[in-house]
Amino acid sequence: MARPREFDTDKALNQTMQVFWDQGYRASTFADLVKAASVQKQSLYGAFGDKRALFLKSLALYRNQVLSQFQGLLSGGDSPLEGIARLMRYASKPPGPKQGPSGCLMTNTALEIGLSDPDVAAEVKRLFRGIEKILTAAAKQGQERGEITDRFSSAAIGQSLANTINGIRILETTGASDRHVKAVVDMALGAIQRRQS
């Protein structure tokens, strides 16, 4: 009969995700992950498998957290354009010490691993496509309400905004100033706003 797990697997996964986010996949050792999760090595293996399996689960957790957070930011506004502006401004703020490392775990992973691991690349793609889908839906609603330009398709606007968010994350990790990042966000928002005739 298998012994029941004596630790909170959700909490352990969240803690190991922070290690991968801070250090990257290759630089994170299993010893680092065990220490962060505050569990025995065999317990972590038993719950999640090897380092790569744990990394894939960490990426999935991060994806779910980000998409849920972004959906909440978009749906909390009085209008689609306001929701998009709130999301873009939130994405452009550097994280506080308790929110996690700078940059985006998925963007960092895409830059570190690229297409060399198909499973990792697929997980990265799921997040990026998920963000595009959320932003595309908001852009479509904004177009229907006359707030967002119809010079471009809602899908093109969603893709452009998602790429802007990814670019912001890269700027963060290279030490860009808040003023520089704000200018990028303001430009992106100005480009999609419908001009009143």
The pLDDT assigned to 45 comes to 85
Would you give the distance in Å from CA 110 to the centre of its chain? 12
What residue ranges do the domains of the chain occupy?
Answer: 59-192
CATH number of 59-192: 1.10.357.10
**Res 97: pLDDT:** 47
160: Cα separation from own chain's centroid? 16
Planar angle of CA 140, 191, 124, nearest 5 degrees: 65
The candidate with the shortest Cα–Cα distance to 89, out of 161, 174, 192, 170, is: 161
SS3 label, residue 146: coil
Phi, psi at 41, each rounded to 5°: -55, -45
What long-range pairs does 102-105 form, CB within 8 A, spacing at least 24?
Answer: 102/172, 102/173, 103/169, 103/170, 103/172, 103/173, 104/66, 104/165, 104/166, 104/169, 105/17, 105/20, 105/21, 105/58, 105/59, 105/62
pLDDT value of residue 196 = 67
Q: What are the two backbone dihedrals, phi and then psi, of residue 158, each rounded to the nearest 5 degrees?
A: -60, -45
pLDDT of residue 6: 62
pLDDT in tens, the chain (197 residues): 444 456 688 899 999 999 999 999 999 999 999 999 888 888 888 888 899 999 999 999 999 999 999 999 998 778 999 999 999 998 888 665 445 676 789 988 998 999 999 999 999 999 999 999 999 999 999 999 999 999 999 999 999 999 999 898 888 778 888 899 999 999 999 999 988 65
Quote the pLDDT of residue 100.
63
